[in-house]
Structure 1
């Protein structure tokens, strides 16, 4: 390097060097189709349970339009029958009807009926049940739904009698006759009487023998101790002409207990929600505490 070039470099007069820049490249995968991920389509509309809820409400409101502005002749009860071919479909309807929130569906239905100028009596009743083979005879049918309307203007037939027999476990009587002409509520529990948390003395109508009761057989009644003293109640609805099981505090999981209904079509229904009405069918078996089994039969 000459002296002049050194001086130029010293004072910054040297020409800048030019470097060719190369843009970085990214190799794309050869098989672009396999690298692409197709997003799953988002279902349109409300969730399945909400759709079925709206369908049930439309059916009921539509069938009750004839009672618009006719509160004196309005129905006193509604009974919904649902044909469910598998447990998943049955569970869908249980969610749709807010089964774990007793009274919520009836309140929503009451609101929508009022919006359509349909006023039902203050204590109108609503219940539902599931069927796996065929729907029962009802006033109206739509697909897998059937609706029976209990109108106070229609003549009421004689109340249905039924019976309770112990299949497993020991009861005080060999069988119990349920006669709505005599009474409509029957208490089930271990022993004859017990005192509830409110202090009220409860007398059981269907007595599961306690170990200190006369006639107790340790072998036959070996599982009786699993039954609560205030386990469940069978109630007859005169309007809907139907028996139903209600689980009392002692028969609920919160008390460390359990109650089930084994239906004739092999469906198993867990009765574990307080104040919820579980309709009974002819031939149902009621399991108490996992040890005692009662057979419900219509006379």
Structure 2
């Protein structure tokens, strides 16, 4: 090696053919493929506690519709029962009912009742119980919720069961049990459903059969064409603890149909005023369209 080459080596200079290639130079840090992650979408809608709160509010409001525009008979107290499947659900309902702010839920419920024309007394009471075993005896029950309505004259909140039996005409069932714990109103009409003038679909609970309905028996007579698809409604009046009949638009004389109530004392009451409440007695017979006769009894 010449003196010049020694000096070059000493100062780190190398010939071009001896310098390491960038292509063969090892990468000190291994490269990995980038990981593409899909962002988790944020949950939509109200939180679970708010959903349970809305569920409870709807339940109570629906069961108190019998008190619309009747503040003089409104209940003085409500007892809510909630059946919880586990401790997590129990805690969820505690949040929904604002357990740490006892008056807040009652205030909000009072507002929603007022929006539905249901006015309770000034100092009405509200309480609730959360149970893991079974719901307590109650006035109303729906799913995992129960409600006891405390009335001034009937503090026990017990209910009366009723029954409708078909005497003349054809109905889907020979008899219907009226249980206010399940619902407070029972629509009567021809066919299962019909659309009202407002566009709402009405579902009949006591179904008068059409000629083309399954179960119609031509051997038992002709179809009940004189009965309207939205003829009448039986409602349980919680405050008065009685059943009443209301004639819907299709059951009024203006629609060419008639509705009568024949009482056990042989007196006959024409039900021909829209919005009028006609109290029902045990043993009343309800005639609709001159073709159908239903017997109302208390159980």
TM-score (norm 1): 0.50
Report the structure number with the largest CA radius of gyration.
2
Among candidates 73, 77, 84, match of residue 76 of structure 1: 73
Distance in 1 (CA, whole Å) between partners of 2:213 and 2:251 is: 21
Q: CA deviation at 1:75?
A: 4.8
Q: CA deviation at 1:206?
A: 0.1
Q: Which residue of 1 aligns with 2:201?
A: 201
Distance in 2 (CA, whole Å) between partners of 1:186 and 1:224 is: 19
Distance in 1 (CA, whole Å) between partners of 2:198 and 2:154 is: 40
1:1-299 equivalence runs, <5 A: 75-76=72-73, 122=119, 152=152, 154-222=154-222, 224-299=224-299
CA RMSD of aligned residues (A): 2.3
Q: Which residue of 2 aligns with 1:45?
A: none
Q: CA deviation at 1:219?
A: 3.6
Deviation track 1:35-79 (CA, whole Å, cap 9, x = no partner) reads: xxxxxxxxxxxxxxxxxxxxxxxxxxxxxxxxxxxxxxx9527xx
Distance in 1 (CA, whole Å) between partners of 2:221 and 2:186 is: 21
Task: Report how many aligned residue pairs link the two structures.
Answer: 159
Distance in 2 (CA, whole Å) between partners of 1:188 and 1:223 is: 16
Distance in 2 (CA, whole Å) between partners of 1:270 and 1:219 is: 31
Deviation track 1:183-218 (CA, whole Å, cap 9, x = no partner) reads: 010000000000111111000000000111011012
CA, structure 1 residues 158+295, in 2 after alignment: closer, same or farther (shift >3 Å)? same
Q: CA deviation at 1:220?
A: 2.1
Moved over 3 A (4+): 121-124
Secondary structure at the aligned position of 2:218 is classed as coil
Instruction: Kindly indicate whether the alpha-carbon contact (under 8 Å) linking 1:245 and 1:279 is maintained by their aligned counterparts in 2.
Output: yes
Instruction: Kindly indicate whether the alpha-carbon contact (under 8 Å) linking 2:209 and 2:223 is maintained by their aligned counterparts in 1.
Output: no
Instruction: Kindly indicate whether the alpha-carbon contact (under 8 Å) linking 1:223 and 1:292 is maintained by their aligned counterparts in 2.
Output: no
Distance in 1 (CA, whole Å) between partners of 2:269 and 2:181 is: 29
Deviation track 1:207-238 (CA, whole Å, cap 9, x = no partner) reads: 00011101101242425111100000000011
In structure 1, list runs of 5 or more residues that go unmatched. Answer: 1-73, 78-120, 125-149
Distance in 2 (CA, whole Å) between partners of 1:151 and 1:164 is: 26
CA, structure 1 residues 163+288, in 2 after alignment: closer, same or farther (shift >3 Å)? same
Instruction: Kindly indicate whether the alpha-carbon contact (under 8 Å) linking 1:75 and 1:151 is maintained by their aligned counterparts in 2.
Output: no
Distance in 2 (CA, whole Å) between partners of 1:277 and 1:208 is: 22
Distance in 2 (CA, whole Å) between partners of 1:218 and 1:225 is: 14
In structure 2, list runs of 5 or more residues that go unmatched. Answer: 1-70, 75-117, 122-149
Secondary structure at the aligned position of 1:226 is classed as coil
Instruction: Kindly indicate whether the alpha-carbon contact (under 8 Å) linking 2:191 and 2:204 is maintained by their aligned counterparts in 1.
Output: yes
